[in-house]
Structure 1
Amino acid sequence: MVGPWKIVESLGTGNFGHAFKVEREGIFFTMKMAVRPAPELPKDTPEEALEERQVDGRMCHEGAILLANTSHPGLPHLREVGRWPHPVWGYLYIITDYVLGEPFQDWREHAQPTVAQFVDVFIEVVRVVEGLHAKGISIRDFKSEHVIVPEDHKPVVVDLGSAWLPGGSILTVGLAPGTPHMLPPECVAFIREGSWKQGARFDPGKAGDLYQLGIFLYEALTECWPFDPRLTKDELLVAIENVVPRPPHRINPEVPESLSRIAMKLLEKQPEDRYESAESLLKALWDANKERATTAWKVSLRLPPQGPAPVTQDEVEERRLLQQESERRAQEAQKEKEEELSREQALEEFSATIQELGAKAQAAEALEAEARAAAEKAARRKKRWRRIVLGAGSLLLLLTFWVAWQVWRTPVLPSPAASEKGSSLVSTISNSRPVRATAAWLCVTFSVGCTAAQVRPLPEDCPAEAVRSMEEMNLLNQGAYSVVIDINQPGKQQQEGIYWPGPIVSRVVKYSWTGPLPEGTLLYGQLWTEGLTKEGQEAVLGRYTEALLPDGRRVPVCFVLGDLTGLTIKNPGSKPREARLPREWSVLAVRRWP
């Protein structure tokens, strides 16, 4: 018993859950239960990490999709979602109506349907997919095992755990969970490019669902898969991305060519070469269905006892032409992609040029304003000096008259001592206290002296408020973060920037290996660029004291540029007061300023 639900029999086990037939008050239902209970995670665990670490994340998705599509034909009706035995930490389970029928391949084996009967079932499956697509839902892991065919031949699609629901949380980084030999070619290209290692995600969307519908159709028509799942991983991925499979009517001569062409169009390598939508696919099936009165549509799709038909010379030539056409379209798609990338790069360079011109214009305006301020300051200083000179001249004139008066009224007496020892006038003047006071007054008044060099701040503990805010946000002990050092300098990641001493505003760039600070967070700080060395080379010191989060919150922080020393070695070509550094660099959260 699971609560009021009595387990009758097991219906199967997958990587994420078990399926049971259960009974309650004489009525049968289907129960799906996660393979492990919910883990005890901190309340502040990010949603992405929460979903990735919970095996019942897929079941949560399936329950949400079924609940949002309760009246949708071709989907099981959701009856209950719960946890057992504990309402919070127990195993997640969902209850749906029990579908009395067989998985598609078992039904095909037992019923031996004619071409017309199979197409009727396939059309109903496509209608289910079309209805989900109309609501923005992508299945992403569609296969024949997920199609149950009841006695009335109205198929039901089950297991939507990998589906994407608009507004739903993200299950995994990279690709959605799926079956390797059923991956669309665009997914294989995404794997080969390797951008998933930096946290990029790829969703094949509706085009991916149409490709997997093509695999379902191909398998039903031939009892084979387009690409053998027994191949090694590398061989399988190369085949999916490059090899055109044998057309179904070549493998099974009983297959009408119209259906074979539909299957091959669904399996096109480029998403844009497939049907535009599930609605377009339904139209193609409807057109082909006009042949159902012919003898070819009244025979079983079962393969002959001798197995797939041998390859003929005509087929070799046909496949060669198909392969050439596929490669041509792939080359055109790659060329278009490169041209689009070139256009984007040109646009970025143009934008960077505009920003650079704007920055230069701003710098010119700043220099002009600085020149005006300097001119005004010089004019004020000149005016002040003029007053000082006039005042000093007046005093000197008065002093001259006073000295003359004193000389005139004082009798001249001989001074042998003075003649023997020499005059002490110069010594007396140069050491007098009034002269020293006057010199000090001149230094203070007219800024006489040398300009002080830039001084590195001393190591000290970070403010308690900053440490407390970083602990609350779990920013400490999370390794390095990545930032664009100066948000006002345009350019690409690989380019250099030129930095001057003074205030700096940096922007956080989010990668899979960085800490919890969100993308776009601004860090406000200060750069010191002169008189600093690291490992015998000139260096820059950077400190950040405040963070502006994307949601508008400002919090005090303690971050340093580079490593725990807070120092970053300048790039070659740096000049005095012009430090060259990478445009993008790392920062660390610290408890004590180095």
Structure 2
Amino acid sequence: MTTETFHPDHLKPGDMVGTWRIVESLGSGTFGHAFKAERDGAFFTLKMAVRPAPELPQETSEKTLEERQVDGRMYHEAAILMANTSHPGLPHLREVGRWPHSTKDYFYFVTDFVPGGPFHAWRAQVRPTAAQLVDVFIEVVRAVARLHRRGVLIRDFKSEHVIINPEDNKPVLVDLGSAWLPGGSTLTVGLAPGTPHALPPECIAFIRQGAWREGARFNADATGDLYQVGVFMYEALTDGWPFNPRLTKDELLVAIETVVPRAPHHINPEVPESLSRITLKLLEKRPEDRYPSAEALLQALWEAAKERSTPAWKVPVELPPEGPAPATLEELEERRLQKREAERRAQEAQKEPPEELSREQAVEQLSFLTREIHGQLQLADEEAARRKRRWRRIGGGAGALLLGLVLFVAWQVWRTPVPASPAVSEKGNPFVSTVRNSRPVRATIAWLCTTFSVGCAAPQVRPMSEACPQEALRSMDERRLFSGAHSVAVVIDINQPGWASQQGVYRPGPIVSKVVKGVFDSNPLPEGTLLYGQLWTEGLTKEGEPAVMGRYTEVLLPDGVRFPVCFVLADPHTGLFKTFESKPGEVILPRESSAFPVRYWP
């Protein structure tokens, strides 16, 4: 295996990207790596896609699909900034390009550098008053309103994407890669990438319906953005979230759909009640019960800000040392009434006839569907043509070969003794179990799936348990990889670096992970080591839940030494749980996990 000579992860201070000199790394996001750059004595932010476009002919559908996933989100962000570059509240776009080759490889764009840090860091340092917070809220909503007027939906708004300039305490919105813009390509099936505990209730309903499994897309609108602005304001006023992100998947979904969060002014007596009520209205379960537009929210904030000259608005909005205030009987009764009213409105809404589309909406939907259908037909035609050429190459001998393989499978089943047990066990049909656990049969099925794409019950066949090769065992024993704290912390995909708390989207197939500094000082592999392996994402379970398995067979040390190994991802026995947002072929996992050396493949 070989590694890329140039990669955004390898850029260091002093390197040049075009005319821009790298000063320092600013961190990694979902699909990009951000750097502080310098030119002519001024500082800028350079954001680069973490994966290059593949080396495929420009006219192929694979090229189009890969580019949509690799660079599409950054294209969106650059296009949004270009269309709104003169507006305050957004970074000013300076340049777009590719590196190191000007017409291929890694897409990047450059904006003015925004000094300061994310909102939550500013809040902890400044300890803002209610008057200062409402100023930030107003500027944020102004920027959101400008985007909405141009038809842009943010879809993943959160405090980490709000940078506060310490010179004037003005917010700037960054990381718009998940945004939807009119006329832009559709990058996702189902929901856009987002933060689970900040998903609006209508997104949870869409997940429960399961239509996304058939390729349906969630129709986002402005009220979803406003809900996430409400989550942002709730965090600003309480230093917490409406719904605890540490809840289990099922608990979190139920809470978002049904639980009315505590009012911020009940949690923190320093919060003005007017700001608290605005926040709760943004967090209403039904979109129609929130503010109808960002302009309406802006008007409500202006009305509330009229109180800013009062003493209550001039003290820091922070929790007392003893923590959140306990709930009173009056608060509990108020929340009960709020829930009853929400249920009543929901029941009334179910009785109302569906609203008819306006002529403009109907035309817009028809145009969208026409483009989508045309694209799907074109991809289907190309796929059919490829398959036809493929089968022609196979020739007439394929039929006989397949027949021989089927007979071989039947022979293996016949010769495998079936235990004397009831016809149906608690795990299902014994015949199916016997076939799937027969190593020769599984190997044959795997070969059939890989070679002919036929006879496959799932996109992947689970890797077989077997002993680690002797050469790999010798290499690991020589380097004492089984002694002490033998697990290593890794970024799962070198092309998706980021913080441990962030998530990435992964596909089955080859994968390159990178060792990062872990909890233990006795890390058996040095930081920066690359692990080469394979990821399986379908047809696997862990404790009854969908899971992922990763195996690494080769290591490349920072000094260039390469040797075989047997490492597994996350757990030496059972693999890694999928997150509930995952979909077939694209699993969502934390960006960082652990890898363990093993003597026997699980």
Q: TM-score range by the shorter chain?
A: 0.5 to 0.7
How far apart are 1:112 and its partner, in Å? 1.2
Asked if residue 85 in structure 1 is aligned to residue 100 in structure 2, the reply is yes
Residue aligning to 1:493: none
Residue aligning to 2:146: 131
* Matching residue's letter, 1:275: Y
Structure 1 residues 112-123: aligned runs within 5 Å: 112-123=127-138
Residue aligning to 2:312: 296
Q: Is the 8 A contact 2:53 2:67 kept in 1?
A: no
Q: Distance in 1 between matches of 2:386 and 2:347?
A: 47
Q: Is the 8 A contact 2:131 2:314 kept in 1?
A: yes
**Deviations along 1:295-339, whole A, 9 cap, x unmatched?**
211111111111111112221111111111122222223333xx4
The number of residues matched between the two structures is: 352
* Matching residue's letter, 2:313: W
Residue aligning to 2:69: 54
Larger radius of gyration: 1
Q: Distance in 1 between matches of 2:59 and 2:96?
A: 24
Asked if residue 281 in structure 1 is aligned to residue 190 in structure 2, the reply is no
Asked if residue 219 in structure 1 is aligned to residue 128 in structure 2, the reply is no
Asked if residue 340 in structure 1 is aligned to residue 249 in structure 2, the reply is no
Residue aligning to 1:232: 248
Asked if residue 107 in structure 1 is aligned to residue 122 in structure 2, the reply is yes
How far apart are 1:49 and its partner, in Å? 6.0
Residue aligning to 1:191: 207
SS in 2 for 1:174: coil
TM-score by length of 1: 0.57
* Matching residue's letter, 1:106: A
How far apart are 1:265 and its partner, in Å? 0.3
Q: Is the 8 A contact 2:61 2:379 kept in 1?
A: no
How far apart are 1:54 and its partner, in Å? 2.7
Q: Distance in 1 between matches of 2:110 and 2:196?
A: 29
Residue aligning to 2:25: 10
Equivalent of 1:475 in 384, 398, 402: 384
Residue aligning to 1:140: 155
Residue aligning to 2:262: 246
SS in 1 for 2:170: coil
* Matching residue's letter, 1:203: N
Q: Is the 8 A contact 1:269 1:330 kept in 2?
A: no
SS in 2 for 1:155: strand
Asked if residue 262 in structure 1 is aligned to residue 296 in structure 2, the reply is no
Structure 1 residues 206 and 47: alpha-carbon distance in aligned structure 2, compared to 1, 3 A threshold? farther
* Matching residue's letter, 1:307: G
How far apart are 1:472 and its partner, in Å? 7.2
Structure 1 residues 53 and 250: alpha-carbon distance in aligned structure 2, compared to 1, 3 A threshold? same
Q: Which consecutive unaligned segments of at least 5 residues does structure 1 have?
A: 345-468, 480-594
Q: Distance in 2 between matches of 1:208 and 1:254?
A: 28
Q: Distance in 1 between matches of 2:387 and 2:200?
A: 36
Q: Is the 8 A contact 1:185 1:269 kept in 2?
A: yes
Residue aligning to 1:576: none
* Identical-residue share of aligned pairs (%): 70
Equivalent of 1:171 in 180, 187, 196: 187
Structure 1 residues 242 and 471: alpha-carbon distance in aligned structure 2, compared to 1, 3 A threshold? closer
SS in 2 for 1:292: coil
Structure 1 residues 474 and 291: alpha-carbon distance in aligned structure 2, compared to 1, 3 A threshold? same
Residue aligning to 1:22: 37
How far apart are 1:124 and its partner, in Å? 0.6
Residue aligning to 2:175: 159
Residue aligning to 2:450: none
* Matching residue's letter, 1:215: V
SS in 1 for 2:163: strand
Residue aligning to 1:204: 220
Q: Distance in 2 between matches of 1:185 and 1:316?
A: 22
Q: Is the 8 A contact 2:57 2:63 kept in 1?
A: no
Q: Distance in 2 between matches of 1:177 and 1:211?
A: 16
Q: Distance in 1 between matches of 2:126 and 2:41?
A: 29
Asked if residue 67 in structure 1 is aligned to residue 77 in structure 2, the reply is no
Moved more, 249-258 or 199-208: 199-208
Equivalent of 2:329 in 313, 336, 358: 313
Residue aligning to 1:96: 111
Q: Is the 8 A contact 2:69 2:187 kept in 1?
A: no
Q: Distance in 1 between matches of 2:338 and 2:274?
A: 16
Q: Distance in 2 between matches of 1:327 and 1:195?
A: 25
* Matching residue's letter, 2:95: E
The one of the two structures with greater contact order (alpha-carbon pairs below 8 A, sep at least 6) is 2
TM-score by length of 2: 0.56
Residue aligning to 1:553: none
Q: Distance in 2 between matches of 1:80 and 1:43?
A: 24
Q: Distance in 1 between matches of 2:152 and 2:98?
A: 26
Q: Which consecutive unaligned segments of at least 5 residues does structure 2 have?
A: 1-14, 358-377, 389-602
Q: Distance in 1 between matches of 2:193 and 2:245?
A: 16
Q: Distance in 2 between matches of 1:207 and 1:272?
A: 8
Structure 1 residues 560-579: aligned runs within 5 Å: none
SS in 1 for 2:284: coil
How far apart are 1:53 and its partner, in Å? 5.6
* Matching residue's letter, 1:197: R
